[in-house]
């Protein structure tokens, strides 16, 4: 019998991953996912969706490795299954190139992705402005396909979905025993976290079906990521900028930078979406007790993934599941009956 009512707030890649993990692992819980916006209108839908990462300064490296490995293994299983096309997950090979040899020549995820190696001088010849490069195979998870697939998986596990803006956690205190906050940038207002800020990202989705290999400049500013129906070409990382409209100057600069790396990028542009990454020094994945209408309500937070929410969503969702389990153990017995 389902007895504990869990609300997951947020329908991006972090919210749906977390909701699926809880609904599938904890049959004692009835899980409702509430969100103001759903696919295709979330930041996650704009993401290039590459499984890569940079280091978050405040999280022990071992924990980040676990998040990355959980996400990689989860998406690799999907990519290698019959579900790959309807889930929007694919294996992708290519390179990351650097103008200067980086201090960290082997990133922490180098032994989790497949076939990581340094590029040869012959391979680098193609990029005369770059001195060093890494070649490897990773995954691309296209959220505009993946999110509807996750939603189906969530409903199959008994989950319910409700479209609604939550203006205050108080609104949920009567109907839910545990609240899981996966609101990304929305956490700035919903839980008053001033550390959360927008990092604007503008990309192109281009028709260039002859491109099969990804190229990323290690400075993170220019990338070409072939996907299922289009190639994601980016980008910008504008801290504190919350404009959702296109910026023609950015479009020009992205094309100039990326055509230097891949001169064949001259085909029709398909779309130019803009998204606001939920910037934070490090993600917040922890629980707290919040007093709501005179009651102590457990709240599990899972937000602030900045530019790496697709890579880390499944890993942090599993940690959030662990925190919900702890909340269940700590709940008074009558709440579970």
Ligand X SMILES: O=C([O-])CC(=O)C(=O)O
Ligand Y SMILES: Cc1cc2nc3c(=O)[nH]c(=O)nc-3n(C[C@H](O)[C@H](O)[C@H](O)COP(=O)(O)OP(=O)(O)OC[C@H]3O[C@@H](n4cnc5c(N)ncnc54)[C@H](O)[C@@H]3O)c2cc1C
Binding residues for D-dopa: 223, 277, 307
The interface partner of residue 220, options being ligand Y, ligand X, none and the CB cut-off 5 to 8 Å by kind, is ligand X
Nearer to ligand Y, 91 or 331 (CB): 91
Asked if 52 is part of the footprint of ligand X (rule: CB under 6 A), the reply reads: yes
Q: Does position 94 bind ligand Y by CB under 6 A?
A: no
Return the one option of ligand X, ligand Y, none that residue 298 interacts with (CB less than 5 to 8 A, by type).
none
Handedness of CA 129, 274, 305, 242 (dihedral sign): positive
- List phi, psi (to 5°) of 190: -65, -40
Q: Taking the chain, what is the end-to-end CA distance rounded to the nearest angstrom?
A: 9
Binding mask 216-245 for ligand X (x = CB under 6 A): x---x--x----------xx----------
Q: Distance between CA atoms of 215 and 258, rounded to whole angstroms?
A: 9
| Sole window of 45-53, 58-66, 129-137, 322-330 interacting with ligand Y (rule: CB under 6 A) | 45-53
Which residues ranging from 250 to 279 are in contact with ligand Y (CB under 6 A)?
A: 275, 277-278
Contacting ligand Y within 297-326 (CB under 6 A) = 303, 305-311
What is the SS3 assignment for 152?
A: helix
What mask, x for binding ligand Y by CB under 6 A, covers residues 161 to 200?
----xx---------------xxxxx---x----------
Tokens standing for 117?
Answer: 């190696």
DSSP 258-307: HHHH-TT--S-EEE--EEEEEE-SS-EEEEEEEEETTEEEEEEEEE--GG
Pairing of strands 160-163, 295-303: unpaired
For every residue of 13-34, DSSP letters joined together read HHHHHHHHHHHHH-TTEEEEEE
15 binds, among ligand Y, ligand X, none (CB under 5 to 8 A by kind): ligand Y
* Residue (29 or 274) nearer to ligand Y, CB: 274
Are the beta carbons of 182 and 313 closer than 8 angstroms? no
Q: Annotated binding residues, as ranges?
A: 43-44, 166, 183, 223, 277, 307
Residues contacting ligand X: total by CB under 6 A? 12
Q: Name the residue nearer to ligand Y (CB basis): 24 or 241.
A: 241
CA distance 166 to 176: 13
Binding-site residue ranges for FAD? 43-44, 166, 183
Q: Which residues bind ligand X (CB under 6 A)?
A: 48, 50, 52, 201, 216, 220, 223, 234-235, 277, 307-308
């Amino acid at each position: 019998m389902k007895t504990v009512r869990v609300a997951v707030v947020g329908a991006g890649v972090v919210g749906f991953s977390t909701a699926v993990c809880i609904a599938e692992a904890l049959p004692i819980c009835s899980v409702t996912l509430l969100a103001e916006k759903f696919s295709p209108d979330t930041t996650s839908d704009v993401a290039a969706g590459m499984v890569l990462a940079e280091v978050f300064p405040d999280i022990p490296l071992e924990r980040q490795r676990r998040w990355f490995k959980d996400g990689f293994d989860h998406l690799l299983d999907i990519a290698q299954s019959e579900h790959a096309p309807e889930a929007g997950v694919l294996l992708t090979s290519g390179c990351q190139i650097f103008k200067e040899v980086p201090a960290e020549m082997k990133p922490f995820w180098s032994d989790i992705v497949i076939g990581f190696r340094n590029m040869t001088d012959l391979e680098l010849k193609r990029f005369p402005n770059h001195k060093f490069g890494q070649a490897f195979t990773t995954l691309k998870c296209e959220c505009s396909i993946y999110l509807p697939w996750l939603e189906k998986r969530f409903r199959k596990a008994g989950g319910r979905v409700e479209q609604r803006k939550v203006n205050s956690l108080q609104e949920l205190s009567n109907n839910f025993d545990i609240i899981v906050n996966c609101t990304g940038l929305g956490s700035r207002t919903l839980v008053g976290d001033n550390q959360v800020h927008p990092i604007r990202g503008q990309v192109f989705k281009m028709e260039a079906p002859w491109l099969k290999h990804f190229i990323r400049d290690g400075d993170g500013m220019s990338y070409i990521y072939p996907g299922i129906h289009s190639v994601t070409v980016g980008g910008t990382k504008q801290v504190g900028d919350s404009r959702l409209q296109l910026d023609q100057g950015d479009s020009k600069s992205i094309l100039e930078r990326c055509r230097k790396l891949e001169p064949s990028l001259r085909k029709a542009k398909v779309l130019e979406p803009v998204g606001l990454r939920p910037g934070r020094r490090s993600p917040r994945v922890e629980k707290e007790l919040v007093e709501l209408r005179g009651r102590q309500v457990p709240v599990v937070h899972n937000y602030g993934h900045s530019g790496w929410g697709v890579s880390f969503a499944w890993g942090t969702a599993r940690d959030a599941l662990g925190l919900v389990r702890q909340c269940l153990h700590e709940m008074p017995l009558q709440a579970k009956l």
